[in-house]
Structure 1
Amino acid sequence: MIKLFKNIRRKLLAENRFNKYLLYAIGEIILVMIGILLALQVNNWNTTRLLKSKEQVYLKQIRISLIGDLERIKEVKEFNALKASKIDSTFMMFEKTSNPEKYVPTIVNHMYVMNEFDVFEPNTIAFENMITSENIDLITNMELRNNLSQYYQRNFVNSTQERVKEKTRQFVDDISPKIGNRQLLKQFRLRDSHLPNISEVNIHSDKQVYSNLIIMDLSIDGQNKLLDTTAEEIRRLLDLIDNNLKS
């Protein structure tokens, strides 16, 4: 192509057709400039396409993490429902009988749930990978970028969820020595002891036991409200991500 242009210019000069040569040279320069601009535009298109592709890879990974967070919230709430049912059952048992030989075995059976707790923490790996590689600017939707940053920078093990752990431990520390008795130890360890007889247990009238059960139940309610609010936030993030992936 270059050789062809040179031959045309030589021919025009040889024929002493300078004006046509000048016009041709200008036209050739314009064509070269257009070619350069087109090449730059194509390069920009390719760069934009690659950046968009990279953005979508990160968003798809974050989307998977958020769906996992919703499942995790569901698990925590299911455990909380089970724990709350054991607390209710304990109250009902105290209402029905003051005989420790009847209510102590029930409480002991409930303890495997009532002495546990579960807290929600989001899976931050995908988002942290994007932050570590300094690629958060790939997310061009500012609303989505800001909302993701707010979600992942929040301290989820806050006072609400910390209270669940604290009140559960407080309940266990208080009731464990009060519920201990000779028959219970013999049942689980096959050993005799000098512990009080089961008939001497009187937690059914213990104000501290009642107080701990009530506060533990209230802390579960507070955690559930936090989890519900978080689940709504996650669903909004998923909607923003889905809209971004479609664009």
Structure 2
Amino acid sequence: MIKFFRKIRYNLLETGKTSKYLKYAIGEIILVVIGILIALSINNWNEIRKQKETTNSIYVIVKEDLINDISEINLILKYHDEVRKPSFETVLNTNLTKEDWLKNPQYLSVIDGFKDFSINQRGFELLKNQSNLIANTKQNLASEINLFYNQHLVEIDVAIDELFRENVDINKNLKKHDWFSSFLLHKETEGIIDYISNNTIAKNEIALYYVIFDVYAQELRNFRENAKNIIIKIDQQLKEN
């Protein structure tokens, strides 16, 4: 093709058709520019397509993470709402007899540890590596996901730290009593029942533990509701793309 154009230029110059040659030269330049622009457009389109595919694959992983997180939170909250919370309220607000305790062993859950919840961050870590998505104001979903994780990671971690410290304090006081080893080995519960029922310090510790536990449960609910909204927006984004 290049040889063909060269031959045309040569023939025009040889025959002295300068004006025609100039018109031809300008036309050739325009064709070259158009070719370059087309090549750039194709390249740019390919880059946009690749970026969109990468972004969508990250959104899919974020969605999977959130679905798993919601499933785990549902189990934690189910136990809290059906066992822990009623037990806390009964122990703190009712004068229980020894028979009440023995008939309802779940009441002792007021001094149990708690299920630690760790947010899945596979998709979030991948998203953070795509810093241009978060920086670009047009990418509202990426920015919203980034804000969602940054907010809830802090709030849930703070609640877990508070729960852990209070649970440690409760166990420190329990360890001071002779019946503690028997209680741990499930040999007897009389000592701890008497301690919880008649010791003001124990009631105060359990009340504080309950308040902190309720804050933790609320943070999990907030995460779950906001996660559901993120999933809806991800589905909309994937559908549009």
The 2-side partners of 1:26 and 1:187 are apart by: 96
* Residue number among 112, 117, 136 corresponding to 1:115 in the alignment: 112
Question: Is 2:76 the partner of 1:83?
Answer: no
Question: Is 2:154 the partner of 1:161?
Answer: no
1:38, CA displacement in angstroms? 0.9
The 2-side partners of 1:52 and 1:15 are apart by: 55
**Contact 1:179/1:201 (<8 A) preserved:** no
**Contact 1:160/1:223 (<8 A) preserved:** yes
1:228, CA displacement in angstroms? 1.9
The amino acid of 2:132's aligned partner reads: D
**Contact 1:61/1:126 (<8 A) preserved:** yes
The amino acid of 2:118's aligned partner reads: E
Count matched residues. Answer: 233
Map 1:1-247 → 2, pairs under 5 A:
1-81=1-81, 82-88=83-89, 90=91, 95=95, 97=97, 100=98, 102-103=99-100, 105-106=102-103, 110-111=107-108, 114-131=111-128, 134-139=129-134, 140=136, 141-153=138-150, 154-175=153-174, 180=179, 188=187, 201=194, 203-245=196-238, 246-247=240-241
Gaps of 5+ in 1: 190-196
**Contact 2:141/2:233 (<8 A) preserved:** yes
Computed over aligned residues only, the root mean square deviation of the Cα atoms, in angstroms, reads: 3.5
The 2-side partners of 1:187 and 1:73 are apart by: 29
Q: Which has the larger radius of gyration?
A: 1
The amino acid of 2:187's aligned partner reads: F
Shift in alpha-carbon separation, 1:237–1:158, aligned structure 2, 3 A: same
Deviates more, 1:72-81 or 1:108-117: 108-117
**Contact 1:66/1:123 (<8 A) preserved:** yes
The 2-side partners of 1:185 and 1:28 are apart by: 90
Deviates more, 1:60-69 or 1:207-216: 207-216
**1:95 partner SS:** coil
**1:188 partner SS:** coil
Normalised to the residue count of structure 2, the TM-score between the two structures is 0.76
The 2-side partners of 1:23 and 1:187 are apart by: 100
Deviates more, 1:41-50 or 1:161-170: 161-170
Shift in alpha-carbon separation, 1:136–1:244, aligned structure 2, 3 A: farther
Deviates more, 1:1-10 or 1:30-39: 1-10
Gaps of 5+ in 2: none
The 2-side partners of 1:123 and 1:73 are apart by: 12
Query: Equivalent pairs: percent with the same residue?
Result: 24
